[in-house]
Amino acid sequence: MSEKIILTGIKPTGMPHIGNYIGALKPLIENSRHNKTVVFIADLHALNSIHDAKTIKQHTYEIAALLISMGLDMNNAILFRQSDIDAVYKLNTLLMNITPKGLMNRAHSYKAMLEKNAAAGDDMDAGVNMGLYTYPILMSADILLYNTDIVPVGADQKQHVEFARDIAEYFNRTYGNLFRLPEPQIGADAGLVPGLDGRKMSKSYDNTIPLFADAPTLKKLVMRIITDSKLPNEPKNPDESTIFLLYKHFANDADVANLRRLFENGEIGYGDAKKMLFNAIDAQLAAPREKYKSLMSHTDELDEILATGAARARKIANNTIERVMRAMLG
Ligand code: TRP
């Protein structure tokens, strides 16, 4: 086991789809088999867009149940709810005072909102609350609190991790070397998971396969994958087929090589290939899906697991926040 500390936060905004799973959750779960991994459900970050407590709580349970049922290694991983750790609110307040406003103005996610408003002819700040504006400061607090070395994130979050590093460097120069400098780690093929229509799988394209769709729904969705009109006996390029590109993530090497051959030799039609894809996904997800269902109907167990995680996280976080408060306030 390496000594590096890997940390990820997952915003509870709804059931992840298999694109999220392949891009972010699967690497995280695999990491947890070999490394100390800090994983939290970023419910405070969901607050800037979701103003309904029940919804946030429900989504929080969903993410926790999903990670556990997909095999997060609970010996190496500390799994908790962000809002359970008081030190994060404190560090957020303290970091506010050393973070330049200009840094926040440069944040891609904030700038995207401004551009959207401009395009719609709305007031520049329409729909922007301070939670959204200062989002990178809270995220820096998350990262710095747990002595994080590596933050595996999607490309869209890279800038936020760089901000955390900038803020840590500024702190260290001013108050002494207290924070470890985190580095982003960008998932290689996170963007390459195609959705039902062949474009990148994304909620905004409405082309997703939810990770825990029940078997009949899963089958229906797989059968809806858009293909060209090649006949079964025509050779097809597997690397341009959504069916094959998804299959690669759910089948073993021999089965993947076999489907590649069938495509290239014109020995399989799209209908049969879809059946193979459905069977491969279902074989991998059927057991976790059942475990997920059972956890979701015993949320008291999830509460207990999250409380245990929070107690472990609190030990690290309290140690950091005490040192930061002493350095800044005496
Ligand atoms: N901002 C991340 C996202 O939207 C979630 C997140 C919050 C996070 N805090 C974090 C990710 C700390 C990594 C590290 O996906």
Quick: pLDDT tens for 48-106. Answer: 999 999 999 999 999 999 999 999 999 999 999 999 999 999 999 999 999 999 999 99
The answer to whether residue 220 is catalytic is no
Can you give the pLDDT at residue 189?
59
Can you give the pLDDT at residue 190?
52
Can you give the pLDDT at residue 230?
96
Say which residues have a Cβ less than 8 Å from residue 102's Cβ, sequence separation at least 6.
Answer: none
Distance of CA 194 from the midpoint of ligand 1 (Å): 23
User: Look-up: residue for tokens 């229509």?
Assistant: 197
When pLDDT is averaged across residues 294-300 and rounded to a whole number, the result is 97
Between 168-172, 182-186, 309-313, the lowest mean confidence (pLDDT) is in: 182-186
For each of the domains in the chain, give its residue range(s) and CATH number, in order of start.
Answer: 2-192+299-329 (3.40.50.620), 212-291 (1.10.240.10)
Can you give the pLDDT at residue 24?
84
Render pLDDT for 245-292 as a digit per residue (tens, 0 to 9). Answer: 999 999 999 999 999 999 999 999 999 999 999 999 999 999 999 999
The answer to whether residue 230 is catalytic is no
Confidence band (pLDDT; 50, 70, 90) for 319?
A: very high
Ligand 1: residue whose CA is nearest its atom 7: 9
The answer to whether residue 200 is catalytic is yes
Can you give the pLDDT at residue 1?
53
Confidence band (pLDDT; 50, 70, 90) for 191?
A: low
Distance of CA 75 from the midpoint of ligand 1 (Å): 22
Distance of CA 112 from the midpoint of ligand 1 (Å): 17
Can you give the pLDDT at residue 143?
98
Contact by Cβ (8 Å): 133, 104: yes
- Looking at the CA of residue 7, tell me the nearest atom of ligand 1: 14
Can you give the pLDDT at residue 162?
97
When pLDDT is averaged across residues 142-170 and rounded to a whole number, the result is 94
Distance of CA 233 from the midpoint of ligand 1 (Å): 47
Kindly tell me if the per-residue pLDDT of 112 is higher than 70.
Answer: yes
Kindly tell me if the per-residue pLDDT of 320 is higher than 80.
Answer: yes
What is the longest distance spanned by two Cα atoms in the chain?
77
Distance of CA 89 from the midpoint of ligand 1 (Å): 15
CA dist 243 → 53, 172, 204, 253, 316 (Å) = 39, 50, 21, 16, 45
When pLDDT is averaged across residues 117-135 and rounded to a whole number, the result is 96
Kindly tell me if the per-residue pLDDT of 321 is higher than 70.
Answer: yes
Q: Is the dihedral of CA 239, 241, 244, 249 positive or negative?
A: positive
When pLDDT is averaged across residues 317-328 and rounded to a whole number, the result is 98
Ligand 1: residue whose CA is nearest its atom 12: 9
Kindly tell me if the per-residue pLDDT of 120 is higher than 80.
Answer: yes
Which protein residues touch ligand 1 with a CB less than 6 Å away? 7-9, 11, 42, 45, 139, 142-143, 151, 153, 157, 160
The whole-angstrom separation of Cα 204 and Cα 88 is: 31
Ligand 1: residue whose CA is nearest its atom 11: 9
When pLDDT is averaged across residues 17-37 and rounded to a whole number, the result is 90
Confidence band (pLDDT; 50, 70, 90) for 23?
A: confident
Kindly tell me if the per-residue pLDDT of 231 is higher than 70.
Answer: yes
- Looking at the CA of residue 142, tell me the nearest atom of ligand 1: 12
**Cβ atoms within 10 A of the Cβ of 20, count?**
23
Can you give the pLDDT at residue 192?
78
Catalytic residue among 158, 203, 230, 291: 203
Predicted TM-score (pTM) of this structure: 0.92
Contact by Cβ (8 Å): 222, 277: yes
Catalytic residue among 4, 200, 275, 291: 200
